[in-house]
Amino acid sequence: MADTDINRLKIVLVEKKRTAKWLAGELGKDPATVSKWCTNKAQPAIETFRKIAETLDVDVKDLLCSTK
């Protein structure tokens, strides 16, 4: 199950024409941390998902892979 992508962050960034480095700057996070989120090697905290959604102007559900 570790191979399963939990978030769609990389896809949403491409759709919004933004980079992980830009998002890191907006959130005040280390670019390496955001890179790990984009590759699903790590996951942001639930509160951070909300901040990411607000920053990218998307619903938080758009950042997650559907379970159905």
Structural domains of the chain, count: 1
Is 4 inside a domain boundary?
A: no
Is 3 inside a domain boundary?
A: no
| Model confidence pLDDT, tens digit, residues 10-57 | 999 999 999 999 999 999 999 999 999 999 999 999 999 999 999 999
pLDDT at 4: 75
Residue 24, domain CATH: 1.10.260.40
pLDDT at 1: 42
Q: Is 17 left (phi over 0), alpha (psi -120 to 50) or beta?
A: left
Is 15 inside a domain boundary?
A: yes
Cβ–Cβ < 8 Å for 19, 26: no
Host domain of residue 42: 9-63
Count of other CB atoms within 10 angstroms of residue 34:
25
Nearest to 65 by CA among 45, 28, 32, 40: 40
pLDDT over 90 (residue 67): no
Mean pLDDT value of segment 52-64: 96
pLDDT at 3: 58
Is 16 inside a domain boundary?
A: yes
